[in-house]
Amino acid sequence: MSSQTPMSPQTPSSQTPLHFHVPEPASRPGGKPDFSNVVIPEAGSVRRPPVDVDPKEIRDLAYSIIRVLDREGQAVGPWVPELGHDDLIRGLRHMMTLRSFDARMQMAQRQGKTSFYMQHTGEEAVSCAFRIALSPGDMNFPTYRQAGLLIAHDYPLVDMMCQIYSNERDPLKGRQLPVMYSSKEHGFFSISGNLTTQFVQAVGWAMASAIKGDTRIAAAWVGDGSTAESDFHAALVFASTYKAPIVLNVVNNQWAISTFQGIARGGSGTFAARGLGFGIPALRVDGNDYLAVYAVAQWAVERARRNLGPTLVEYVTYRAGAHSTSDDPSAYRPKHESDGWPLGDPLIRLKNHLIAAGAWSEERHKQTEAEILETVIAAQKEAESFGTLHSGSKPSARDMFEDVYAELPPHLRRQRQQIGV
């Protein structure tokens, strides 16, 4: 028998008390905006690996930020894409159109013409630049803040507005919340109000495309807050296991409604780093740099197209406006926090780049703003001629019985007859 005296357990009074940890944002209402935690490398300093690189060799890219436009508006470094001035002017017009569209629809909501709206202010480059990297037939599975995918693909503004107004010309017949668009022809899967459901659906769609031997790829979209949902992690499991041809996009705009991004991010350091544990190549990109967004999108799309599997991309950007028309951001962040965002405004940065290249001017920019506003107002007038939330014609009650069954069941036929439609 051992002669050692057994150690007695510590009493609760002698132990260090446990502390529950809740991450806190750097600043709150009334405080000074603080983005010192956002480490921004020099434009052009992040290397561009070959598309077929082993994910293990680029783990560091999940912790950096790929940038192309420097402070003087010059495009520098290995990620400079092959986009001509005409391409960039078209991209600038797309972003300007989205911002003008947002302003008119925000005003329409305040006037009671629709029940709800969500703006994209500060995030226009993410969806507008990504869209032009795709090919016909590719499918986006978006959230409610990627309308740029439609605008950059020339989806009719009138149709978007009719959906927002839920009028008689609403392409979705009043079945969706305003801004939850859908268009198969434009590669825009129906938006769901349930957080993150589209992420795992997108992986399934991509797997089906591969199973059929098709050439189309998928792009999944999610916000920083929604990465805390289980569907996000399930999607990464399936994407990595079956090497699904998909680009997994995380838009980190710093705020998930009233919760700052540190809550969902946890201890992973970055959202891109979430992909590393699944063996998925992960990149972070300056989401307010149109050229950088396009370059990274092109890299990830090519990887998917070449059967090399998924890529996780984190877009570092900032939601300059409210989460929605139901939100008041001054209740949870400094009133002028957006003014301190170190990556600037995507429209101004692309405008300055084009001016520095001699392809644009302040005068031409103002003229284009006026032209775009005129186009948006004309579309709004046409859309409102078909009705708004509280005026004009609405979708028929008959529509609720259609587009579900190939042949309407007897009990639903009877119900339709009872209401006289």
* Closest by CA position to 104, among listed 393, 375, 386: 375
45: its two tokens:
């300093």
In a domain, 399, yes or no: no
Q: What is the pLDDT of residue 410?
A: 96
Contacts of 387 (CB under 8 A, 6+ apart): 165, 167, 168, 169, 393, 394
Query: Is residue 159 assigned to a domain?
Result: yes
Query: How many domains does the structure of the chain reveal?
Result: 1
The alpha carbon of 352 is separated from its chain's Cα centroid by a whole number of angstroms, namely: 24
Place of tokens 């078209």: 90
Where does 65-208 show beta strands of DSSP type E? 139-141
Quote the Cα angle for 106-102-260, to 5°.
Answer: 85
Q: How far apart are CA 248 and CA 300, in angstroms?
A: 9
Residue 136 forms part of a structural domain:
yes
Say if 31 falls within a structural domain. no
Domain range spanning residue 268?
A: 59-323+336-390
In a domain, 40, yes or no: no
CATH number at residue 295: 3.40.50.970
Q: Does a structural domain hold residue 44?
A: no
Which H or E run contains 312? strand 311-316
Q: Is residue 175 part of a domain?
A: yes
**Is 25 a domain residue?**
no
Q: Per residue of the chain (421 residues), give pLDDT as tens.
A: 555 666 655 556 679 999 999 999 999 999 999 999 899 999 999 999 999 999 999 999 999 999 999 999 999 999 999 999 999 999 999 999 999 999 999 999 999 999 999 999 999 999 999 999 999 999 999 999 999 999 999 999 999 999 999 999 999 999 999 999 999 999 999 999 899 999 999 999 999 999 999 999 999 999 999 999 999 999 999 999 999 999 999 999 999 989 999 999 988 899 999 999 999 999 999 999 999 999 999 999 999 999 999 999 999 999 999 999 999 999 999 999 999 999 999 999 999 999 999 999 999 999 999 999 999 999 999 999 999 999 998 898 889 898 889 999 999 999 999 999 8
Task: Give me the pLDDT at residue 4, please.
Answer: 62
User: In whole angstroms, what is the distance from residue 178 CA to residue 288 CA?
Assistant: 26
